[in-house]
Amino acid sequence: MQWNLTVQRQITPSLTVTLAYVGSHGVHGEYINGDGDYTSPTGLTSAGWLWPTPVVSTTTRINPNPHYDGIVVETWNSTSIFNSMLAQVTQRVSHGFQIQGSFTWARGVDDNDSVTYFGAYDASLSEQFPFVNNRARSDFNVKDNLTVNGSWTAPKPNFSSHAMNVAVGGWVLQSIVTARTGTPFSATISGDPLGLNNGATIDFPNCNPGAAGCTPGGVNPGNVAHYVNLSCFSLPMSTPAISSSCVAFSATLPGTCKNLLGNSGRNLLTAPGLVNVDFSVIKNHQVTERLNAQFRAEFYNLFNKTNFNYPSSTALYSAAGASIGGAGALTATSTNSRQIQFGLKMVW
């Protein structure tokens, strides 16, 4: 189900303001589990979902049938909700200048974004448990998105010199500016500490927002080497109520509980945002009455800004509970470095 409401107001003959609200609600959406052939938990405790002991992590699958590499579970019980507000200002051509700016605030929430095997997005989780509350921000969620585009066409000169008219006339400047917040991703534990014994293992650490040194959102904006603030996370911990059923990650990590699913959950963290400026210079020259020559110089990522993607390694701990070196570091970019392109076009 979708709905929208748009209000548009013409302020001047060339200036228009638009406000819009767009929403949608989905039920019985596709829900894909990368491999549903896993060891089931013993149940939900006061500390979370607990898996049986002893924890057995092996390459032997739960279902030993050699004809199956995995059992993809597809159900239709996913729900989603999306709300967005759009503000747009459009200034049509006036003295050779036109500009349009749009700002969108949006929030998408769902249980699962996987529309293909192993997910549709790079940060999608290949394994999710249908009995766990996976409701969180959508994988595609971009909270704030600002786009401004504009162009300026130089007025036609009227010099007595033909050479001056050719040199000064025919210029067009164009630019597109984009600024937006990042998309969500999840912190995980690598390997198979829960003992799922399937082809798409998953486990989460605990999130401790009140811990010393923890920053809002669990990240360190601008810190490339330590973007994910590890002070906000820890291994799943045993509690008095489940201590007899817990297995420590290792003898050097007493009090931890490797067979307990961590509480951080899906899409808790947000990747860095993006700022990009594209710019072009165009020179038109009327060679003859029917022939026009156009030269273009186009600059992509004009200021050569580094826009980082989410961390390449989102696993903070190994299956043995050891901190993974370089975890949470930003090592890949979401846009290319500055690129300059020249072109010549003849129009007749």
Contacts of 99 (CB under 8 A, 6+ apart): 89, 90, 91, 148, 149, 150, 151
Instruction: Name the helix (H) or strand (E) containing 179.
Output: strand 171-180
- Summarised one tens digit per residue, pLDDT across range 291-322 is 999 999 999 999 999 999 999 889 999 999 99
Residue type, position 90, single letter: T
For the four alpha carbons of 243, 244, 247 and 251, in that order, the dihedral sign comes to: positive
Provide the pLDDT for residue 298.
97
The count of domains in the chain is: 1
Provide the pLDDT for residue 63.
60
Q: How far apart are CA 73 and CA 44, in angstroms?
A: 22
Residue 229: which domain range? 2-347
Residue type, position 182, single letter: G
User: Strands 188-189 and 233-234, how do they pair?
Assistant: unpaired
Q: pLDDT 10s digit of each residue in the chain, 348 long?
A: 999 999 999 999 999 999 999 999 999 888 777 777 788 899 999 999 999 987 765 555 656 555 667 777 788 888 999 999 999 999 988 888 999 999 999 999 998 775 545 455 666 776 677 778 888 999 999 999 999 999 999 888 888 888 888 888 889 999 999 999 999 999 999 988 998 887 777 899 999 999 999 999 999 999 999 999 999 999 999 999 999 999 999 999 999 999 999 999 899 999 999 999 999 999 998 888 889 999 999 999 999 999 999 998 899 999 999 999 989 999 999 999 999 999 999 988
- Summarised one tens digit per residue, pLDDT across range 203-214 is 999 999 999 999
Q: How far apart are CA 331 and CA 275, in angstroms?
A: 18
